[in-house]
Amino acid sequence: MDTDHLTVFVAVYRAGGFAPVARDLGLAPSSISRAVAGLEEALQVRLFQRTTRKLEPTEAGTAFFQRVQPLVEELEAACADARDTAGEPAGRLRVTASVSYGQICLVPRLKPFRALFPRIALDLILSDAALDLLSERIDLAIRHGPLADSSLIASRLAPVRYHVVASPEYLAAAEPIRRPADISSHPCVAFSYEGFRSCWQFRRGRTTAAIDITPAVTVSNAAAIRQCAVNGLGLALLADWTIAADMDAGRLVDVLPDHQAAGASFDTSIWLVYPSRSFIPKRARAFADFLKQDVHDRGRAAS
């Protein structure tokens, strides 16, 4: 039995179709379909029900996937492990991050990363959706805030602190802000996510306050919110990595510098998340270590 057909079958089962696997492997969908058909012929059993709109696994297909998936993963891990011991990190690395974090923090660091690891071909998938790492065949995800999926392995890349900021032009024309309660009368540019769009939290020492906000604009993207704040549209609650350059340049001002601000929780971090606890490819470890060193170096430069 062709082991490549088994690998393709597992990928198709996870993705729910031929086209996503074809795009991932750089092949025509017809080639993926033939590989699955060849496996079905060898097994003398139908693994998928095909219609013009979707692909559904049969009962036999589901049972076969459950048995063969661990074997395929172990085979892939063994092959990757053998390649890793042969020399420098190499191969295709699929990384996902939010659109804003990717644009602001990752893209500027791709050139030095490529200079260090020229044999790694990086697929950077920027999406504000929490993509399924297994079905999308993603090696490393960069996630924010609390992690919902305990089956994934994660390590903290960096802590995050939020600030309520506004442009100097907006503040010059607006009512002064001396305490958290004052923001309730100001227009805000808010995240559309739960925990950010209706109430912001503040902490100073042991004193905390939850303040209702009035969103003038609600946006789902941090970089867009940042631009709205720079343009003087109102107050915005943004993470330090989003606004560091603007605060250094004076384009944005922390309106309550003596208070710690937050959306749903004060305990926020950026996480490196891997799909498997048993095996992390050397190329993924190289990228993670590069990001950790970069965060460490920038932290020392700022201190």
Q: Are residues 117 and 248 in the same domain?
A: no
Domain encompassing residue 206: 162-262
Q: Is the pTM of this model over 0.75?
A: no
Q: Are residues 239 and 216 in the same domain?
A: yes
Residue 181 has what pLDDT? 96
Residue 149 has what pLDDT? 58
Residue 242 has what pLDDT? 95
Residue 143 has what pLDDT? 93
Q: What is the pLDDT of residues 127-151, one digit of tens each?
A: 988 888 887 889 999 998 776 656 6
What CATH number does the domain containing 101 carry? 3.40.190.10
Residue 151 has what pLDDT? 63
Q: Are residues 27 and 69 in the same domain?
A: yes
Q: Are residues 151 and 167 in the same domain?
A: no
* Residue after which a domain boundary falls, among 69, 85, 101: 85
What CATH number does the domain containing 170 carry? 3.40.190.290
Task: Give the torsion sign (CA, 281, 286, 289, 291).
Answer: negative
Q: Are residues 79 and 100 in the same domain?
A: no
Q: Are residues 188 and 256 in the same domain?
A: yes
Nearest C-alpha neighbor of 181 from the set 105, 256, 269, 288 = 256
Q: Are residues 95 and 221 in the same domain?
A: no
Q: Are residues 139 and 286 in the same domain?
A: yes
Residue 261 has what pLDDT? 95
Residue 115 is inside which H or E element, if any?
helix 110-116
Tokens of 65: 């996937």
Which of the 8 DSSP states describes residue 183? G
Q: Which residues of the chain are modeled with pLDDT < 50?
A: none
Q: Are residues 218 and 288 in the same domain?
A: no
Instruction: Give me the residue label for tokens 């993963």.
Output: 73
Q: Are residues 182 and 227 in the same domain?
A: yes
Q: Is 278 left (phi over 0), alpha (psi -120 to 50) or beta?
A: alpha
* Residue after which a domain boundary falls, among 52, 85, 118: 85
Instruction: Give me the residue label for tokens 């990928």.
Output: 11
Q: Are residues 7 and 34 in the same domain?
A: yes
Q: How many domains does the chain have?
A: 3
Q: Are residues 63 and 118 in the same domain?
A: no
Residue 80 has what pLDDT? 67
What CATH number does the domain containing 45 carry? 1.10.10.10
Q: 104-110: long-range contacts (C-beta < 8 A, 24 or more apart)? A: 104/223, 104/241, 104/242, 105/241, 106/142, 109/290, 109/291, 109/294
